[in-house]
Amino acid sequence: MKQPKRGRLWLNDGSCIRLRPTHKGHVWSYDFVQDRTHDGNVFRILYVIDEFTRECLAIRVERKLNSRDVLDTLGELFVHHGSPKHIRSDNGPEFIATALRDWLARIGVKALYIEPGSPWENGYCESFNSKLRDELLAREIFFDLREAQILIETWRRHYNTAGPHSSLGYRLPAPQTILPAAFIPPYCEEVAA
């Protein structure tokens, strides 16, 4: 039987037709990366990024991660950062689980799934994967899971606060605010007294 033709997923300039982020908290993306400790045991890395600011909001490193772990991680982020309007992912079983989709729908977050076999539709995640691999995973030997968790979280903080990004005009995704030592906020009058 003849297959029906599919519509183009890109414009004439080669870019994908997809929802582009317009402000912080508009579109988040999440995905998994896999690596091994020195003894050959696999561990997985779940990360969540804000597509507009390129900030890595969370990285979770465990031997096994499932849809419940994805839900727990997102729940913590929603409490801390507020919920995004949209969240983009591939069609992995952890991301299309009924409990996760129902929960996202109840709180008003629209799930955006990329076409199967089209990783270029999630370019922000692919770029982050590349940086994570090149800057950390390809250079480090992790002797146990705890070491991997600590080093990967340290790298995440460096990625957000110390490494400028060309896509942001060589600014930081989440610059730290540093106040001069002599500055006393006006609402802290008891400190001045």
| Residues of the domain holding 85 | 27-162
Give domain status of residue 19, yes or no.
Answer: no
Q: Is there a domain that residue 3 lies in?
A: no
Whether 127 is covered by a domain: the verdict is yes
Q: Whole-model pTM?
A: 0.77
Between CA 175 and CA 126 the distance in angstroms is 23
Query: Each residue of 113-131: pLDDT tens digit?
Result: 888 777 777 888 888 999 9
119 within domain boundaries: yes
Does a structural domain hold residue 128? yes
- Any idea of the CA torsion for 171, 176, 180, 181, to the nearest 10 degrees? -160
Inside any domain, residue 193: no
Instruction: List the one residue out of 72, 71, 49 whose CA is nearest residue 59.
Output: 49
Please state, in angstroms and rounded to a whole number, the distance separating the CA atoms of residues 182 and 193. Answer: 14
pLDDT in tens, 148-172: 999 999 999 999 888 776 766 767 6
Tell me, what CATH number does 31's domain have?
3.30.420.10
For residue 7, being part of any structural domain is answered with no
Residue-wise pLDDT for 53-100, tens only, equals 889 999 999 999 999 999 999 999 999 999 999 999 988 888 888 999
Asked if residue 12 belongs to a domain, the reply is no
End-to-end CA, the chain: 84
**Number of folded domains that form the chain:** 1
